[in-house]
Amino acid sequence: MAAPDTSRTGGGKGTLAALLAALMVLAGALSVAEDDRLTPYKDSAGIWTVCRGVTGPAVIPGKRYKAQECAVLNNAAMHKHTDGIARCINRPLQWYEWVAWGHFTYNVGVAGFCNSTAARYLRAGNSEAACAQIPSWRFITIGGAKRDCRDRTWNCYGIVRRREWEMSMCRGDIPASNYPDIEAWLKEPA
């Protein structure tokens, strides 16, 4: 695993230790939230996706990926997102905030996160207000129209549960060692 970029978050030992601990928990949470799919597919918003939710130029429609390729892509994607958070907010976070925002950003993208009201609150040091923004990210675009995932007919209610989990983690309400709770929360039937 490559060392995370903490140069913009204060870079101290505490920051690095928090981020390394968070990366371990984040990897576990992403393995629950995102199935490792070896064949590219279009997600509910029509975006080509492979492995654990990896999108972008590494996704080649029709290719069958090996487990080792997915491990590399998953790890690179996780680091890309956490490094993007670090550059964007430029301040230290608690380990549970890294987990929450890493999980969130893995789903909405670095640009979506960095341009959000939540990121603005984080940059200002208002973590509670930032966490409170997470549930508002419950929409996907289908056929050019914005759809609210609370409406179960759009088949995306898992995003609502994901946002509830991320907000609880962001606030420090979920112990990192409690993987059964993490799994139950993220895998609850839509």
Active site residues: 34, 43
d(CA 14, CA 137): 30
Which of 48, 42, 45 minimizes the C-alpha distance to 144? 45
**The CA-based dihedral angle spanning residues 48, 50, 53, 56, taken in that order and rounded to the nearest 10 degrees:** -50
Distance CA 110, CA 81 (A): 6
Question: 29: exposed, middle or buried (C-beta count within 10 Å: 0-12, 13-18, 19+)?
Answer: buried
* Cα–Cα distance for residue pair 176/153, rounded to 1 Å: 33
User: Residue 145 corresponds to which tokens in the numbers above?
Assistant: 């129209």
